[in-house]
Structure 1
Amino acid sequence: MAPDAKVPLLEGRGSGATPAQTLGNIVVSIVGTGVLGLPYAFRTAGWLAGALGVAGAGAATFYCMLLLVKTEEEESGRVQETEHGHHGGANYTYGDLGERCFGPTGRYFTESIIILCQTGGTVAYLVFIGQNISSVLPAVSPATVVLAFLLPAQVALSFVRSLSALAPFSLLADACTVLAVAAVVKEYVRLLVERGEQPFEGRSAFAGLWGVPFACGVAVFCFEGFCLTLALEASMADRGRFRSVLLQAIAGVTVVYVGFGVCGYLAYGDATRDIVTLNLPSNWSTAAVKVVLCVALALTFAVMMHPIHEIVEARLFGPDGWVRRRCRGGGIVERAALHLSRVAVVAALAAIACFVPAFGEFAAFVGSTVCALLSFVLPAMFHLRVVGPTAGPWVRAVDYFFLLSGLVFAGHGMYTVLSPQ
């Protein structure tokens, strides 16, 4: 999801969004394709360890979202009181807050992390599409062939600059994700009835210490939309109710994630694939679910790309941009360069996706590195910077816990990828 875009489900009318609308918007911004990798994470960690990891990730995400909102409120009130003599309600983006806390370097670093998260999400989309289409149509295997066929369509969609025109596809993708989850649960019930055995028989509750960080990384990846926190809070008519609405959304999504992860692992055991839809039987209904889901994600890809294009184009075509300083041909040349930059970015991400070996490992890596920095490290840093000097020792201790834990988590994710297997 674009960090500064309107959330596509329901927009507030009049003076702002209602609690019900905000609840729907939060769910849409959080739920993504990562949920279909949860059963594999539970297989790696064990069903109990995986459940605890997802629950912990949900609780940590909720707390750090509140940290971000509290920091924005404190900084906004301080600025309004200093400049205008009263408390106001300035609305900051994540990048704005980074600049308020740490100057231009803070903005550049925050926006860089957002772009890396979006890049990870878009590459994961492409890997997901490639693997699922290859499973339905073996004639176009491997996944790199699928991505080659898909590239022209993604390039064409990247030329659509209106998020409002693309937003309905996000709803379609979420609806298709729900459909895929329902298909997996149905298959689980069928397998359980056929086996006629205890559901937890032969399934590990705790599969080993090293599987826990993997499951936590996938869980963090599943809680998408962190950079939309400030926009969601600002969109409410009664902003004081945001905390309770956020709690309802995070708690509900966490329960669904845990239930789905456990069900998927219990259904397929050690045969659980990194994308659980690949475990579904080969029939026309399963193929239809996979194809519709992939089409929806392919259309949503352009929404995920929006913040990446925005940052790249600001650097290239802004008032001091590289192209603007060197371009002497007027609007036509600039427009051609703009389209060329979008083609290059999409092609680069498709090339990266061709070298990603597995969806599950990649989701865990993105979740445990850049998503951990965005979701845990930066909110704790901002809160310590703005509120820390006047906060109590317990509050500061919790901030430092999230700051250090997020850094350790990110370091472990990098080590896991870079260490020889």
Structure 2
Amino acid sequence: MAPELKVPLLEGRGATPAQTLGNILVSIVGTGVLGLPFAFRAAGWLAGALGVAAAGAATFYCMLLLLDCRDKLREQETEEDGLGDERRLNRGDGGNYTYGDLGERGFGPVGRYFTEAIIIIGQTGGSVAYLVFIGQNLSSVLPALSPPAVVLALLLPAEVALSFVRSLSALAPFSILADACTVLAVAAVVKEDVQLLAERGRPFAGRSAFAGLWGVPFACGVAVFCFEGFCLTLALEASMSNRGRFRPVLFQAIVGVTIVYISFGVCGYLAYGDDTRDIVTLNLPDNWSTAAVKVVLCVGLALTFAVMMYPIHEIVEARLLAPGGWVRRRCGGVVQRAALHLSRVAVVAALAAIACFVPAFGDFVAFVGSTVCALLSFVLPALFHLRFVGPTASPWARAVDYFLLLAGLVFAGHGMYTVLAPIYN
């Protein structure tokens, strides 16, 4: 059984609404936000805003679906063993479930393996995006380190060393630091945007509200990627001292983040127009303050890269040491520990190698968002809800589930097509 994904700022239970709000923001906000202006360039400022709003609303609704599935499973277990909620909490499990648990309860071991595989691929995509972002930004500040592969080669030993830290509590400050650096970068971009818009006088002149049909899926893919942290929904809710207040706190967080995303994307596109880069920090002027912002942001992301890798390492090691597994059967204690260390080195090195071949940050983020993130955020929650709650749900609720399921699959299929079609041609 794979370990539960943990809450970045608070492990265990007893979180207040304010702490939970902070956990949600840390879980959701990431580097993807700096690719939103480029997405708005592809779709148009109005189409991009509507796409981000739709992604935020759908994400919030699907998070509620996961909570409904968890509540249904609690009811079923209470009926099966006759334990009340208080006795269940005293027993120690609290009726908590991970994303993988839902897959196993609904579809057996295959459901768990598939769900965990999607989680690993999603975390891998986010981790690679971190490395691509760091490589491109540091290369723009220090041309001597160009191409970005040189930056990643120099960064690899430090990332390998951080991967040996096995305590999420020790890594959590790095995640907070990365979010603080992201806020700093967003503030620097907004400051530059406001100055450029003030100079232009007519901000919407020459800017497309709707740039074309094919740009909309691209913008939606970036938007879905920006609402990362979906797999932590159940853990975030379980961390609260008063779980009944989680839904309104979640609603406040999603609405606030959506407003910030739309504002940032619109302002960035209006400021730079067709010159908007896939990482908007690359549009900033070449001066010492911009260079400092980029370097600080990259340092923060490099330190928090280990947090992104944490679930991947945990799942990989759980499989290596599974009962009956090759490592457990053939290796002793010292060799087992060496194998675990080597697995971490191999995973980090493999992701760094993949990042060297990613041509563009924006295209990669849109691809991950429209494929893996769409499966995690829309398809699996709708499928689980139909499995657990569907028989007793209203026809309207089932219709929405089927719509999300089919729309998510079509969205993922389109994302795969946009990548594979040029290769085939």
The TM-score, its normalising length taken from structure 2, stands at: 0.95
Counterpart secondary structure, 2:166? coil
Q: 1:292 aligned to 2:296?
A: yes
Q: Distance in 2 between matches of 1:9 and 1:339?
A: 26
Q: Which letter maps to 1:97?
A: L
Q: Provide runs of 4+ in structure 1 moved above 6 Å.
A: none
Q: Deviations over 1:237-279 (max 9, x none)?
A: 1111111111000000000000000000011000000000000
1:121 aligns with 126
Q: Deviations over 1:8-34 (max 9, x none)?
A: 33567xx61111111111111000000
2:259 aligns with 255
Q: Is the 8 A contact 2:42 2:218 kept in 1?
A: yes
Q: Is the 8 A contact 2:281 2:294 kept in 1?
A: yes
Q: 1:193, CA displacement in angstroms?
A: 2.2
Identity of aligned pairs, percent?
Answer: 82
Q: Distance in 2 between matches of 1:322 and 1:364?
A: 37
Q: Which letter maps to 1:402?
A: L
1:307 aligns with 311
Q: 1:97 aligned to 2:102?
A: yes
Q: Distance in 2 between matches of 1:152 and 1:24?
A: 31
Q: Distance in 2 between matches of 1:237 and 1:91?
A: 14
Higher mean displacement: 80-89 or 359-368: 80-89
Q: 1:232, CA displacement in angstroms?
A: 0.6
Q: Which letter maps to 1:282?
A: D
Q: Is the 8 A contact 1:30 1:225 kept in 2?
A: yes
Q: Is the 8 A contact 2:5 2:231 kept in 1?
A: no
Q: Which letter maps to 1:204?
A: S
1:355 aligns with 357
Q: Distance in 2 between matches of 1:236 and 1:222?
A: 24
1:76 aligns with 74
1:9 aligns with 9
2:62 aligns with 64
Q: Distance in 2 between matches of 1:54 and 1:10?
A: 28
1:406 aligns with 408
Q: Distance in 2 between matches of 1:11 and 1:305?
A: 17
Counterpart secondary structure, 2:126? helix
1:372 aligns with 374
Q: Which letter maps to 2:395?
A: P
Counterpart secondary structure, 2:285? coil
Q: Distance in 1 between matches of 2:100 and 2:333?
A: 29
2:91 aligns with none
Q: Deviations over 1:273-304 (max 9, x none)?
A: 00000000011111011001101101111111
Q: Distance in 2 between matches of 1:322 and 1:412?
A: 39
Q: Is the 8 A contact 2:26 2:179 kept in 1?
A: yes
Q: 1:163 aligned to 2:168?
A: yes
Q: Which letter maps to 1:78?
A: Q
Counterpart secondary structure, 1:419? helix
Please give the residue correspondences for 1:262-277 in structure 2 after superposition, counting only pairs within 5 Å: 262-277=266-281
Q: Distance in 2 between matches of 1:10 and 1:288?
A: 30
Q: Distance in 1 between matches of 2:101 and 2:417?
A: 31
Q: Distance in 2 between matches of 1:109 and 1:229?
A: 19
Residues 160/11 of structure 1: CA separation in 2 closer, same or farther (3 Å cut): closer
Q: Distance in 1 between matches of 2:77 and 2:108?
A: 15
Q: Is the 8 A contact 2:44 2:209 kept in 1?
A: yes
Q: Distance in 2 between matches of 1:241 and 1:191?
A: 42
2:53 aligns with 55
Counterpart secondary structure, 2:8? coil
Counterpart secondary structure, 1:205? coil
Q: Distance in 2 between matches of 1:4 and 1:153?
A: 26
Q: 1:323 aligned to 2:327?
A: yes
Q: What are the ranges of 5 or more consecutive residues in structure 2 without an aligned counterpart?
A: 89-93
Q: Distance in 2 between matches of 1:85 and 1:128?
A: 50
Q: Is the 8 A contact 1:5 1:163 kept in 2?
A: no
1:148 aligns with 153
Q: Distance in 1 between matches of 2:187 and 2:301?
A: 18
Q: Is the 8 A contact 1:3 1:228 kept in 2?
A: no
Q: 1:28 aligned to 2:26?
A: yes
Q: 1:7, CA displacement in angstroms?
A: 2.4
1:39 aligns with 37
Q: Which letter maps to 2:133?
A: F
Q: Which letter maps to 1:65?
A: M
Q: 1:313, CA displacement in angstroms?
A: 1.0
Q: 1:317, CA displacement in angstroms?
A: 2.0
The TM-score, its normalising length taken from structure 1, stands at: 0.96
Please give the residue correspondences for 1:233-244 in structure 2 after superposition, counting only pairs within 5 Å: 233-244=237-248
Q: Distance in 2 between matches of 1:200 and 1:321?
A: 61
